[in-house]
Amino acid sequence: MDCLFCKIISRDVPATIVYENEYVIAFKDIYPVAPVHILVVPKTHIKSMNEVDDTNSNYIAKIYEAIPEVAKIAGVFDNGYRVICNAGEDGGQMVQHIHFHLLGGKHLGAKILRD
Ligand code: 5GP
Ligand code: ZN
């Protein structure tokens, strides 16, 4: 399958991996928009939020279990952070393997959207 994040999981494409367990990998976004910008990704190919169902939602639970650990490693656990999952074209999803952006390291403000 020609999927960038599957290739990062299989080590066919390099990435700066900051956390990994049986279900989840987390690596630095190559084009960070905040001092901390990490992608938290399930180690199974789920295309988007639209494909989450009873057969794979355990991976999403594992993502959310991993996020506080990744936040600790990244040094944003105490000050706070934001988690974003883009889905589909209007959601701005560019990579067709579900992923959760962990953003922090500065005050992100109260807005949900910002250009
Ligand atoms: P999306 O727009 O799909 O929610 O987010 C995809 C993210 O993947 C973007 O923030 C983009 O910077 C990041 N990205 C794209 N290609 C690569 C890559 O080759 N390596 C890493 N580490 N991140 C990437
Ligand atoms: Zn994939």
Whichever domain contains 74, its CATH number is 3.30.428.10
Q: Does 112 reside within a domain?
A: no
Instruction: Answer yes or no: is pLDDT of 113 > 90.
Output: no
- Cβ neighbours around 112 below 10 Å, total: 7
Q: Whose CA is nearest to atom 21 of ligand 1?
A: 30
Q: Is 95 in the pocket of ligand 1 (CB under 6 A)?
A: yes
Q: What is the pLDDT of residues 39-87, one digit of tens each?
A: 999 999 999 999 999 999 999 999 999 999 999 999 999 999 999 999 9
What angle is formed at CA 103 by the lines to CA 33 and CA 110, rounded to 5 degrees? 95
Task: Give every strand in the sheet of 81-84, ordered side by side.
Answer: 17-20, 24-28, 36-42, 100-104, 81-84
Q: How far is the CA of 47 from the centre of ligand 2 (A)?
A: 7
Q: Is residue 31 part of a domain?
A: yes
CB atoms within 10 A of CB 32: 13
Q: Domain range spanning residue 19?
A: 4-104
Residue 115 belongs to some domain of the structure: no
3-state secondary structure of 23: coil
Q: pTM for the complete prediction?
A: 0.96
Domain count along the chain: 1
Establish if 114 belongs to a structural domain.
no
> Looking at the domain assignment, is residue 109 inside a domain?
no
Domain membership of residue 69 (yes or no) is yes
Flag whether 113 is in a domain.
no
The rounded Å distance from CA 36 to ligand 1 centre is 14
Domain contains 56: yes
